Amino acid sequence: MQSLTRQTFIAGLALAGLAFPAAAFAQGAAKVGAPAPAFQAVDVEGKTRNLSEFAGKTVILEWTNHDCPYVRKHYNSATMQNLQKDMAKEGVVWLSVISSPQGEQGHVDAAKAKELTVQRNAAPAGILLDPNSKVARAYGAQTTPHMYIIDPKGTLAYMGAIDDKPTSAASSLQGAKSYVRQAVAELKAGKPVSEASTKAYGCVVKYAPLS
């Protein structure tokens, strides 16, 4: 009975889009220090993108859901956009990934994704549409936002939270430590990432049913 109650509670959180470690939904084998999982996904321009095309570059994957309050915290404050632009100046390829399937919170088509990008003055190098959740499953993405950094050798160098303030309150941005900035700076300096794996926080990634 206790197990059934817990499962019902988890399901309720997932449906509501609230924060919860989604280990039960994520099936990826991504591991820091190991080769980053290969992926193939169509971007908002209709082009098929592969991880291999970015060989030799640092790549950031940002799982996103525009309806998630945790995502809105970072976009409404321009924290995410500024981070994207600063990373572009460093030569980093930033890919936003939208994995919500049709009918679930956060699902958008290519036109809507581009509209949101313009409205928010966002600056990713690309936006990947993953409505079948294949990329999400490959990486085990749990929350929005959930951040992954792949080094120029194709090794997963960081996975976890965007910062150390696991709340949707905008006030938490003051004094927050950016794990992403820290990791990229350490990689650029040729140092190992000091905090290579942190606990992601945000809204549960909605997964498409396995086919």
In contact, 152 and 93? CB cutoff 8 Å = no
Compute the average pLDDT of residues 143-164: 98
Q: Which residues 6+ apart lie within 8 Å of 127 measured at CB? A: 43, 44, 95, 96, 97, 98, 113, 114, 117
Q: Which residues 6+ apart lie within 8 Å of 110 measured at CB? A: 44, 45, 46, 129
Helix 79-89 / helix 69-76 crossing angle, nearest 10 deg: 60
> Of residues 5 and 65, which shows the higher confidence score?
65
pTM (2 d.p.) = 0.87
CA distance 120 to 52: 29
Q: Which residues 6+ apart lie within 8 Å of 113 measured at CB? A: 44, 98, 127, 129
Helix, strand, coil percentages (3-state) for the chain, rounded to 5, are 35, 20, 45
CA 102 to chain centre: 18
- Start-to-end CA distance of the chain, whole Å, equals 30
Instruction: Say what the pLDDT of residue 2 is.
Output: 37
Residues 109-141: tens digit of each pLDDT: 999 999 999 999 999 999 999 999 999 999 999
Instruction: Say what the pLDDT of residue 27 is.
Output: 55
Instruction: Say what the pLDDT of residue 19 is.
Output: 42
Instruction: Say what the pLDDT of residue 85 is.
Output: 98
Instruction: Say what the pLDDT of residue 144 is.
Output: 97
The half-sphere exposure of 134 on its side-chain side, counting CA atoms within 13 A, is: 11
| Residue reference for tokens 């993108």 | 49
Residues 57-86: tens digit of each pLDDT: 999 999 999 999 999 999 999 999 999 999
Instruction: Say what the pLDDT of residue 29 is.
Output: 73
pLDDT category at 14 given cuts 50, 70, 90 is very low
Which residue ranges form the domains of the chain, and what is each CATH number?
2-204 (3.40.30.10)
